[in-house]
Structure 1
Amino acid sequence: MRCKLLTAAVVAIGILLTGCSTFQKVVYRPDINQGNFLTPAEVSKLQKGMTKQQVVYILGTPLMQDPFGSDTWYYVFRQQPGHQDVTQQTLTLTFNSGGTLTSINNDTSMMKQRDE
């Protein structure tokens, strides 16, 4: 009887401790990738003066376009490795009214992972 009670207590304590923050790294968290994955080689192929069709051929379709017109395209890639901080790469391309690429802005930011 005492052995069964001790076993039940150990199992209950083990189950309760798996949710504690001290054991957070033990719990598996998958890597989460969202958006347009862009390699540095692809981004380096971009040049001012390219047409929209040429940009789509190199990078694919953008994740977002300017809601008030189609002159600004956003390629966003967000990566959240299991227990590490989140990184986000935002490539902003601006076109003139003739559909020619005029501006390239590549921004990479790091965000602190919130504790759950």
Structure 2
Amino acid sequence: MPLLSRLPRLSIVPAALAGLLALGGCTLVSRTMSDGITSVITPYRVEVVQGNVVTKEQIAAIKPGTPRGKVRDVLGSPLLADPFHAQRWDYVFVIRRPGTEPQQRAVVVLFDGDNVESVQAPDLPSELEFVASISKPERSGSPPKLELTEQERAALPPPKLEPAVAQVSAAPQGAVRSYPPLEPQ
């Protein structure tokens, strides 16, 4: 009888061991997933562009005494035109692209009445420098070959047609239908 009373306790030990092994397996699977497939697949990151691009060439066209209308024509509408500070226009530009450093610039145009008093601008890029900074990086190596030369085409083996495809006639075949006229005659 003492052996039968120990039997339930003995079955607990294998169950506990099986539970510990299962938890250890979860850790192994989790580590494999983080090092394997999930490190290759990444979520899509949206490219964020906000504000007005202002370049050296545009700022060179804005001199003290320039009217507001010309400033709007050259630089565009300001991102921030505060009604409480009507003598100040803020042009802010931000671009965030995956794989590159974010760019952020702020240009402030101050007015005296209806004419430009001063322009506060950081070191701005030229148009060519800006385009180069947002261009996608070139791929390494030579570009892929898209067309074959005549010699390469001649060296290709002729396509193998299945017997049913080879016997198809040149004239299209299908159901011949006649339709009644749409309007009564």
**Normalising by the residue count of structure 1, what TM-score does the alignment of the two structures yield?**
0.65
SS at match of 1:65: coil
Moved over 6 A (4+): none
**Shift of residue 71 of structure 1?**
0.4
Conserved 8 A contact 1:90-1:107: yes
Matched, 1:106 2:126: no
Mapping of 1:1-116 within 5 angstroms? 13=33, 18=38, 28-96=44-112, 98-107=113-122
Conserved 8 A contact 1:29-1:83: no
**Shift of residue 60 of structure 1?**
1.2
Q: Any idea what the Cα deviations from partners look like across 1:78-116, whole Å, max 9, x if unmatched? A: 0112122222110100001x21101101136xxxxxxxx
Conserved 8 A contact 1:93-1:104: yes
Aligned in 2, Cα 1:105/1:41: closer, same or farther, shift over 3 Å?
same
SS at match of 1:74: strand
**Shift of residue 45 of structure 1?**
1.0
Taking every aligned residue pair, what percent have the same amino acid on both sides? Answer: 26
**What residue ranges of structure 1 are gaps of 5+ in the alignment?**
1-8, 109-116
Aligned length: 93
Pick 1 or 2: higher relative contact order, CA cutoff 8 A, min separation 6.
1
**What residue ranges of structure 2 are gaps of 5+ in the alignment?**
1-28, 124-185
Q: Distance in 2 between matches of 1:80 and 1:107?
A: 19
Q: Distance in 2 between matches of 1:14 and 1:103?
A: 54
